[in-house]
Structure formats: structure tokens, C-alpha cells
Amino acid sequence: MNETAKSQCAPLSGVAEALRRAALRARELARQTHTPVVVYRNGKVQSQIPDASAAGGGAEPRQG
């Protein structure tokens, strides 16, 4: 990778990790407040209730 490409990537180096942290925090807040989380999975928009027992702040599809 040349110097120009490296300098353009530097500001974006932490973006993926920051997005992961934000998603975990959003799921945790939704779990605490019993609020559904809207996600895009398998080509569909789904509303899910975060499951406290799931590792990593997982979520279950919302019923109804």
C-alpha cells in the first residue's frame, strides 16, 4: 500500500470497532428498557427484543 492510501485509511481505522461498540450499547439499552431493536438481516428488516440470556447481547425476533 502506498503512502497516499495509508493516509486516507488512517481516519477510518477505528470505525468498524466503534460501530460494534455502538451496536452492543444499543442492544444493552434496549434490553434494559424492554425496547425492540430494528435490524436488517437476510434481506429483511426485523424488529427484535434483546435477550438477556444470549451471549454478546443477542436478540430474539419480536412476536406480533
Is residue 8 predicted with pLDDT exceeding 60?
Answer: yes
Rounded Cα–Cα distance for residues 49 and 3 (Å)? 45
Residue of higher predicted confidence among 54 and 45:
45
Model confidence pLDDT, tens digit, residues 10-26:
777 789 999 999 999 99
Binned at pLDDT 50, 70 and 90, residue 2 comes out as low
Model confidence pLDDT, tens digit, residues 39-49:
998 999 999 88
Mean pLDDT of the chain: 79
Is residue 55 predicted with pLDDT exceeding 50?
Answer: no
